[in-house]
Structure 1
């Protein structure tokens, strides 16, 4: 240790911090297993910091050993844990912290960062991005949406993870506690959830199709030819859309949500049920002649 380091204390170099972040960003899931979950990946991410802070082999071995223990979080938002632990290791190297405190803080951070990450990133931001990219594929070229997603997702993930990593290192545990206590994080989470619900609602109205084959079919005289033709005199779907547009797709979406969340149906079982209902309704359409009349009406409208 140089005389400057003795007077100012140990400080993690910017290069070591960047290597630590990139190790976590690219390899956080490389060794996930039941025994320590993300523990090995966390130890690998901390290796550049430990090498930068400690001189002896024994100190480095002890530091690595405490960071390969059980650890789990949502990787993107969870990068704030790495930043906080880097700051604690720096304090420990300067005699202002203890290994026991570092291990306790790591365990305490698992719950909140996992919950926040899963709800904010996995449950909100990613679905919003997917919905936007799906819309781009529909209104533009079919390849445009996947290309936008392949660019925006890794770049956005990298920026978010790096900013949270820096926030954790600079603000430390106190900064995270103050942010959570101020309610800013809760307001941000609520805003993102509301935005996600709006996008999912628009996606439901645009992509979910549901009609019922109920109506009144009768014969009317065609004024141009003077012949009697079959037509739909009363269309239940048009009536429903008249006072509540897209009501049936909305009800179908709520029904699927109810089966999945309340009744604990598997996605495969739900898809099977929808297939059975679709086959039954389609059969009713053809047996009653409703489908034939609809096809004739659609062809006539297209010809006009």
Structure 2
């Protein structure tokens, strides 16, 4: 009788991955242990002999890495391959090769689609809701806390089932048509646009250096008090709007990605710079 993975076991495998995919991440095998844990119920149902179960678990705790949400399609594909292997229609070597081949595409799509596009868009919506009114500011975080986990779970489960049903043939067909590269490039561009919009909307950096003087109005002969005759922030934004938040974002990105600074160290640097500029401004009398 042909072996088939039950719906209960598929769900157990998926939730093992969904809740614990990042808990075992380390330098040696990255997400390998989590992948093995996800495949454990599937292996236990498909194989009867202890040595077969042991061999299957060993090939799934090797090096593996992907984006956790979109990457669930890898688990689904491998579930289908393990089912085929248990029925003598596949080989362990093919399963291992497929796992390695899926790391690149699923990581690229996952990071572009989920991390760089969907999450920033959702954050933008929720931040906008939180800023509309003080009385309903709590609604933004609540919407995020509900939509993010539920939406993530639905997306991951659909991709898991898609991988299981389509198997390696479906993935090969998708990659051979060139749609994978097109989707990845499109999501990358969309993600950069969203990040740029977030920078302009939610990163604030002003330079409130002003020269304020009393000015004589020669037409009326009256003295106008506290007139702004020089505003550095206004002049800069008239030449290049939002260039200061853009510059701050690029500087922080370079320190984080290139110099490997920690977020805590970056926040400390920004605080020190802000205090220094504020102190200089008040000591020189440039801050109105």
State the TM-score, normalizing by the size of structure 1.
Answer: 0.79
1:128 corresponds, among 100, 121, 127, to: 121
Partner of 1:116: 109
- Equivalent runs, 1:1-304 vs 2, <5 Å: 5=1, 9-140=2-133, 141-221=136-216, 226-262=222-258, 264-292=260-288
Judged with a 3 Å threshold, the aligned counterparts in structure 2 of structure 1 residues 145 and 54 are, in CA distance, closer, same or farther, namely same
The Cα shift of 1:145 comes to: 1.9
Instruction: Name structure 1 gaps, 5 residues minimum.
Output: 293-304
Residues 109-133 of structure 1 deviation map (CA, whole Å, 9 limit, x = unaligned) = 3343334333432333323322332
Q: For residue 297 of structure 1, what is the aligned residue in structure 2?
A: none
C-alpha distance in 2, partners of 1:35/1:251? 37
Q: Count how many residue pairs are aligned between Structure 1 and Structure 2.
A: 285
Tell me: CA distance 1:21–1:259, structure 2 relative to 1, closer, same or farther (3 Å): closer
How far the C-alpha of 1:232 sits from its partner, in A, is 0.8
Deviation for aligned residue 1:83: 1.0
Q: Is the 8 A contact 1:87 1:169 kept in 2?
A: yes
Question: Whose Rg is larger?
Answer: 1
Query: Cα RMSD between the aligned structures?
Result: 3.0
Query: Does structure 2 conserve the Cα–Cα contact (< 8 Å) formed by 1:71 and 1:106?
Result: yes
Q: 1:284 to 1:109 in 2, by over 3 A?
A: same
Point out where structure 2 has 5 or more consecutive residues left out of the alignment: none
Using the alignment, how far apart are the partners of 1:226 and 1:256 within structure 2? 48
Query: Is the CA contact 2:117–2:194 (under 8 Å) kept in the aligned structure 1?
Result: no
TM-aligned CA distance change 1:33 to 1:289, over 3 Å: closer
